[in-house]
Amino acid sequence: MCKIRVNPTLDFINIFDEIFESYDETSRKCPIHDVIENDKEFIIEMILAGIDRENINLNVEDGILIIDATRPEKKDLKYNRKELYTGKYKRSFVLPDNVDVDNINAELKDGILIIIIPKLKIEEPKKIKIKIK
């Protein structure tokens, strides 16, 4: 889960340092995302700018959608500096029972990962007419 620890007694500089503390390789950062629901599907849109498709993994385990992404270290040749953030992103979503896990689709377009999770079609209960004799 993505949490930023903020101690209200700290002054501004300490809060700034704590939010942007250096992360080691096992640290995870949570990408910005939206979850949209309509009658047919759930749509997750997640900002993964600068991450190539081969560095993104999507898995469903025990009803949980797990999104793992890695931004490898790159050097900005123009300014001779490293990117601001390199490392791993991780986010998971508990899927409801009414989704079609076998038909989940994902697309990476302009740095935004779009995941479409279709809902299962629920058949209307068959109504039985009672005859009067």
Show the CA angle centred on residue 49, arms to residues 23 and 70, nearest 5°. 45
| Per-residue confidence (pLDDT) for residue 78, from 0 to 100 | 67
H or E stretch at 118: strand 112-118
Residue 38 has pLDDT above 50, yes or no: yes
- Calculate mean pLDDT across residues 92-121: 93
Q: pLDDT digits over 1-11, tens only?
A: 444 444 444 44
CATH code for the part of the protein at 29-118: 2.60.40.790
Tell me if residue 56 falls in helix, strand or coil: strand
Q: Give the list of residues 6+ apart from residue 7 with CB closer than 8 angstroms, or none.
A: 14, 15, 18
Q: Where are the domains of the chain?
A: 29-118
**pLDDT tens digits for 83-106?**
556 778 888 899 998 999 999 999
